[in-house]
Chain A
């Protein structure tokens, strides 16, 4: 019975899709569901830049649509609306959209779904994410070189594996330069609230940090650094305009190459379900120009970045000592991807406790 209903639904779907695609014969419809607003100058802003790149590169072959400010509670409806509206591929760009994406995908087998930062795939659902921790290893080295007090302040949003892996990679990078390097951590419990982020930065500076690192989206911490004559790193976008004297470099999310490739795959009929985890090599994670630092530091950072790009250097190369003293990873070999994707422990030297 259930099977019968499923096939009936699939048949109805097929009709719906056929009807929808009739008027847009040649065009492939690529759609995005954003958790935030395209004006956040952070996570959603960069995904939207990726969408605009798709429009620009593929021109007449595509039509793009987006829905912004979609709360998790509303996401299933928003995704299903896009699927019903004849989208051929739908990108859902927040971890919270994982289950809704899978649910809608089961109803629309002919539509391709791509879910960012999750871990569940299906026949027509791909996951994609970026190795932001690669960039964080590079800035860790720069921070250790540039800091006079030997202490960095680190503003973080939420304790999810991606963020924790970022802290660890930063610390491992810093320790490769200065084994005694210290980091002070403040959880802002928000992805963006400029006021709170500025407060956190000020608190960290008053506690002796002279370099600020952020895993939140607004430019506020860098602006505080600029004003107080300290330094820091941009996040998600190149923020040099906001802190011409303070920004050392920035980790830039650059989704354009991935989006163009995947939409092209749909156009050519070569799309396959996969789990994609691109990094600096593929250009999804980019490092902004090195500024406000001596040439030798810039040279070192450039070499590290190059080594990561070519695969010679892996930020999480064993053996790695955890905060509790246990050692993980085989000597000379990188940690398995799964360990990084689900990371919930700190490396030795991080002065913070993780909620377990």
Chain B
């Protein structure tokens, strides 16, 4: 008996829509079994995990807050990966964005006007772009592999952040504890309930990038360079320019996400700062099939799995580990089911395979 994949003549639109639901159904079955084995009522457990967070206003808002940075970073990364540019270090760009935005309240705590918010957000973007520009430059000038450089720069960014917040930037009234002053007034993002403006940025970014990728020459160029680099070069597209563009774009968005996170959620810089959004966003980008609109759904789904995991800890008393295992299984099913879009799956018996080999 063996598994055989048959390529479909073209992408199945039906499966593109159905596959996440098939995956969800499989996850529910697998999850139900896991929970039942742990001695829990599987229906209650699944309800807590997937439905409960959607039934309360508060939890829905938290879902969006959690999804916003994932979508913001993920949509930029989706463009990168489409163009075959491997930015693995969005986490570092995120941290530097937060750091630069936080510089303003540290040095100009009294600056209060709408300008300060714009300046902080802009600094966040610039910080992320600058940090992203390093691997791009090293790639273009020295052909140093960007997977390594961008990943290593994550650690460098975290140590830099740690040093500044523990040392020169710490709150003078903070009894030498590792945090900066609290941001105030215009240094914070406006909020609707729990939702801060970062969610709006995320929505805008993914829509704009979707238009760029599917309706504009730049998007065409990036897609060609990603799928057929030689053809792209013959068409006069520069892969160097594309590398720089992708890193600046994804870095800038990651930086914006960092700035939004400290200005919208925590309202201070505090170390250690490793929310992991930059790494999780890599999964989000692929889960969204490298489509900026798909990233929105992927980001929301991943955020749900985090928040559901928390509810499960509180309401069911299961550990964080089970929640992580469950999250891993959910991702596996979704990734596996996406195969159905491009392929038909058949299970052949051993004999059929042999006959074919003989014939």
A: interface residue count bin: 35 or more
Interface size in chain B (residues, C-beta < 8 A): 36
Question: In the assembly, what is the distance between CA of A45 and CA of B16, in Å?
Answer: 45
Is the Cβ of A68 less than 8 Å from the Cβ of B313? Answer: yes
If the complex has contacts A158-B178, A341-B175, A343-B176, are A72 and B314 also in contact, measured as CB distance less than 8 A?
no
Taking CB atoms, residues of chain A closer than 8 Å to B314 are 31, 65, 67, 81-82, 85
Tell me the B296-353 residues at the A interface (CB within 8 Å): 306-307, 310-311, 313-315, 317, 319-320
Taking CB atoms, residues of chain A closer than 8 Å to B311 are 81
Is the Cβ of A72 less than 8 Å from the Cβ of B266? Answer: yes
Question: In the assembly, what is the distance between CA of A76 and CA of B266, in Å?
Answer: 8
If the complex has contacts A67-B314, A68-B313, A73-B265, are A37 and B177 also in contact, measured as CB distance less than 8 A?
no
If the complex has contacts A73-B261, A73-B266, A99-B267, are A161 and B275 also in contact, measured as CB distance less than 8 A?
no
The answer to the question of B235 belonging to the interface, with a C-beta cut-off of 8 Å to chain A, is no
Taking CB atoms, residues of chain A closer than 8 Å to B166 are 158-159, 355
If the complex has contacts A158-B178, A161-B177, A189-B159, are A99 and B313 also in contact, measured as CB distance less than 8 A?
no
Question: In the assembly, what is the distance between CA of A341 and CA of B162, in Å?
Answer: 21
Q: Give A34-73 as 1s and 0s: 1 = Cβ < 8 Å from B's Cβ atoms.
A: 0001100000000000000000000000000111110111
Question: In the assembly, what is the distance between CA of A95 and CA of B165, in Å?
Answer: 14
Q: Give A94-137 as 1s and 0s: 1 = Cβ < 8 Å from B's Cβ atoms.
A: 01101110000000000000000011000000000000000000
If the complex has contacts A73-B275, A356-B167, are A68 and B320 also in contact, measured as CB distance less than 8 A?
yes
Taking CB atoms, residues of chain B closer than 8 Å to A160 are 176-178
Tell me the A305-356 residues at the B interface (CB within 8 Å): 338, 341-344, 355-356
The answer to the question of A80 belonging to the interface, with a C-beta cut-off of 8 Å to chain B, is yes
If the complex has contacts A65-B314, A78-B310, A344-B176, are A99 and B182 also in contact, measured as CB distance less than 8 A?
yes
Tell me the A145-187 residues at the B interface (CB within 8 Å): 158-161
Is the Cβ of B310 less than 8 Å from the Cβ of A68? Answer: no
Taking CB atoms, residues of chain B closer than 8 Å to A98 are 179
The answer to the question of A77 belonging to the interface, with a C-beta cut-off of 8 Å to chain B, is yes
Taking CB atoms, residues of chain A closer than 8 Å to B176 are 160-161, 342-344
The answer to the question of A84 belonging to the interface, with a C-beta cut-off of 8 Å to chain B, is yes
Nearest CB of chain B from residue A28's CB, rounded to whole Å = 16
Taking CB atoms, residues of chain B closer than 8 Å to A338 are 175
Question: In the assembly, what is the distance between CA of A320 and CA of B166, in Å?
Answer: 25
Taking CB atoms, residues of chain B closer than 8 Å to A193 are none
Q: Give B214-233 as 1s and 0s: 1 = Cβ < 8 Å from A's Cβ atoms.
A: 00000000000000000000
Give the A-binding residues of B (Cβ under 8 A): 58, 62, 65-66, 159, 162-163, 166-167, 175-179, 182, 261, 265-268, 270, 272-276, 306-307, 310-311, 313-315, 317, 319-320
Ranked nearest first, the 4 interchain pairs of A and B with the lowest CB-CB distance are A342-B175, A73-B275, A344-B176, A355-B167
